[in-house]
Structure 1
């Protein structure tokens, strides 16, 4: 497949600008390492990475940034939402960084990153617990949390449970605090998790790492395998963790593995 050069919708229906919330953690000396841009899944915002992963990445020498998608966190609301608008925001933020960035998408943010990669020549990409195969994810959500999932089928709010997001080791009080911060997403954005066009090929074919948990109650193991196989590899797995790898009790393990991989893939 060839990368599209002209996209008719970009000319006839441009994405309106919004203010964008960006959380950052910078090392004292990045030694030329590429910046890392974290993209949260639906309902989450930059805070989900600012909690642990931004600081960890900066401590390892990587300039680290996290974006709140439009309408979430401190980013401005917009009448236009969905994959095209979200991917546009990611590309705009990445293009403003001083060097070609590594894009890291979590959950539905991985789907956004896939679409952004068709428009931005990333240095590398990481898809963490990626929600890119909508129907399997919907089936898993219905089995794990039917009461929180069924309203979304009629345009209502998708409510993710503590059991879906976290493993058993995270203290209940901390889990409840995180769950309370998960925001409602527009119905259009929710439906696009299931009904969306496949992403176009990535510009420049950057290396892509897929990581997740075999115990994730949002993303089935089979989906992790399929996604990783599209990029010629196998998923890096963290048993015992839930969907929110960046907030769960053993959050250090996936981010350290991610950064170890980046050290090798982006070595100068």
Structure 2
């Protein structure tokens, strides 16, 4: 009963999140093998398209139904200039609840923070935090040191700007890097500010297994942040040296998604768990 009360909060009923059109892209296996669906959540400024480039099709080819949602105000979802972190988490919970089976939530960057908050409201089968930006002043300080001109405007309500070297390795062709960065948008000011100032998520419902992965060469998320995120979930980070922040778009995109799917095949995605 306590978990039910924690998921269904009275004040959320009193002040419901405004509905919005949500873009959900998908790729499904040719043969249904009973594996849990994966719901991919992009980071701020990114849309579901970042997963449609490589990861959705690859996951489906390995037997996993794969979905990606654009948070409100991102990608093809409806506009939401005043969206909050709570509204973003609501989007994830609503889409996950509509999937045919208990889902695995996969969040990238600030989308990992959204997933962390969604886990307090949705009993996920498992979760994966990719290059997680979990917020707080430590994150803000690291961002100011690594990208002061792109970070400072966000303090005053402007957009958080990330440059090509932060997002991708040198291995990614320049034409691809320009094409991807040209599609980036921006998050709502209220949600962006909450990311900078910190928004500690509540404990997950049902204590699902959580995998944290990233690159020690990520110029957005330092190795210490990866270690700290993994410790929060009693694990160690899985590292992919030489990659940039946007692992799902970088030149060696297949390595991290295969690691995620291998992890799921070995444990959280199996139907014979006790």
2:186 paired residue among 184, 187, 201:
184
1:168-247, aligned counterparts within 5 Å? 168-247=170-249
1:92 paired residue among 91, 94, 109:
94
Quick check: 2:214–2:238 contact (8 Å CA) kept in 1? yes
Query: Hey, what does 1:45 align to over in structure 2?
Result: 47
Q: Distance in 1 between matches of 2:179 and 2:252?
A: 17
Q: Distance in 2 between matches of 1:49 and 1:215?
A: 21
Query: Residue by residue, what CA displacement relative to the aligned partner does 1:41-99 show, whole Å, maximum 9, x if unpaired?
Result: 00000000000000110000000000000011110113541211011110110000010
SS of the residue corresponding to residue 90 of structure 2 reads helix
Query: Hey, what does 2:151 align to over in structure 1?
Result: 149
Indicate whether 1:112 and 2:139 are aligned: no
Quick check: 1:213–1:241 contact (8 Å CA) kept in 2? yes
1:64-143, aligned counterparts within 5 Å? 64-78=66-80, 80-143=82-145
Quick check: 2:80–2:188 contact (8 Å CA) kept in 1? no
Indicate whether 1:26 and 2:15 are aligned: no
- Which is worse superposed, 33-42 or 258-267? 258-267
Quick check: 1:15–1:80 contact (8 Å CA) kept in 2? no
Query: Residue by residue, what CA displacement relative to the aligned partner does 1:164-206 show, whole Å, maximum 9, x if unpaired?
Result: 1011111111111111111022211111112243111111111
Aligned length: 267
Q: CA RMSD in A?
A: 1.3
Query: Hey, what does 1:267 align to over in structure 2?
Result: 270
Quick check: 2:135–2:197 contact (8 Å CA) kept in 1? no
SS of the residue corresponding to residue 23 of structure 1 reads strand
After TM superposition, the score normalised by the length of structure 2 is 0.94
Quick check: 1:124–1:206 contact (8 Å CA) kept in 2? yes
SS of the residue corresponding to residue 119 of structure 1 reads coil
- Which is worse superposed, 142-151 or 104-113? 142-151
Q: Distance in 2 between matches of 1:6 and 1:88?
A: 12
After TM superposition, the score normalised by the length of structure 1 is 0.96
- Which is worse superposed, 195-204 or 18-27? 195-204
Q: Distance in 1 between matches of 2:166 and 2:211?
A: 23
In structure 2, the gaps of 5 or more residues are none
Q: Distance in 1 between matches of 2:143 and 2:166?
A: 8
Q: Distance in 2 between matches of 1:80 and 1:16?
A: 11
Query: Hey, what does 2:16 align to over in structure 1?
Result: 14
Deviation (angstroms), 1:6: 4.6
Deviation (angstroms), 1:133: 3.6
